Copies of this chain bind each other. A is one copy, B any other.
């Protein structure tokens, strides 16, 4: 541990195991070139190195946020001399007379040439009924109290976009506490938490006893909620089974079956307006959105919150053809699963990926009462990273 202890601080709260070591460094115009013990060469821009130094004048020692402003760095800055010191740290002597020293674990984690090695979330798996006959299920109290069990629950929620916690109390406050283990609950026009029961003066089709076709919530919001949780208090009415499908799987099927329809759905904006007395949210976006690498970012799947399409006549025909094909994929029983929530079950899903619905129920035969709330998707990503960080810290027994 002697070598580790003399390594410089990093500008982060995380720990950075030294898996690869720099073996050589040289100055280049506007930068520094470093060679690593696995042969990788990485180049760092002088501004990049200077503004990410961990010394307390550059990085606030308490907040770890930058104190040095980019414009405080002379435009003419160059690295005058560089070397790898005995601890394996990169040392840079600047043209200004200052020096900076970089932790090799941190430097490797953030170098562009190997950035993908660090801190990525596990890959997602798209599913239909053949791939998962049931939702991933976890014991609720374990998942909320044990870090490893919590990691397993949240990893499933990320990978499959759906997971259930079982055996929680069937009491109304659970919806306000259990999802908050991930991050803050996001209030909406439906409130902080909302009750899914049949109401006479329903503000949404969800608050009736009718069949709810597969859909996502609140596509009318630019910031459509990322995670939805539904906690079951009662479910003894005849009917009311929950339906779930993977919107990313369905979008992938559309891409394979009809590339032109897929192009339509990823490029032509669809309009979503809510219908309510007190709110008038509007958002226009292609129904399927891709990440820069072509993977799926979001599917905004709420058939009945589409506003009258704002498109030329010919485009409307193209959009309707693609929409009908996409919706028909969700009608195929092979592409959906059906579960009946039990009192105490907490169903969570990615509302921008998984679509949900329910069969109609008969309020005369019993009660059906779910309580719901929303949490943002990036709270899940943050929580998974923090759990991984804590696991690394526990393994290494040291910080930085």
Chain A interface (Cβ within 8 Å of chain B)? 11-14, 30-31, 43-45, 47-48, 52, 60, 62-67, 69-71, 75, 110, 112, 115, 119, 183-189, 192, 201-205, 207-208, 210, 213, 221-223, 226, 269, 275-283, 292, 303-313, 316-317, 320, 323-324, 327-328, 331, 376-378, 381-382, 385-386, 389
Contacts and interface: CB of A to CB of B under 8 A. Distances in A.
B71 A324 contact: yes
Contacts of A12: 275
Nearest to A310: B115
Contact of A316 (B45, B187, B188): B45
A71 B115 CA distance: 46
Given A63-B208, A221-B376, A269-B292, 9 more contacts: A45-B320, A60-B208, A65-B304, A70-B327, A75-B324, A112-B316, A223-B378, A282-B385, A283-B378
Q: Tell me how many chains of this kind the complex includes.
A: 2
Contacts of A328: 71
15 contacts: A44-B313, A48-B320, A60-B202, A63-B275, A65-B205, A65-B304, A65-B305, A69-B304, A70-B303, A75-B324, A112-B309, A112-B310, A183-B279, A222-B376, A280-B385
A302 to B, nearest CB: 9
A69 B205 contact: no
Given A43-B313, A52-B308, A275-B13, A213 B69 contact: yes
Contact of A312 (B30, B112, B303, B377): B112
User: Which of A63, A207, A323 has the most chain B CB atoms inside 10 A of its CB?
Assistant: A63
B324 A70 contact: yes
Residue among A66, A275, A305, A307 facing the most chain B CB atoms (10 A cut-off): A275
Contacts of A316: 45, 47-48, 112
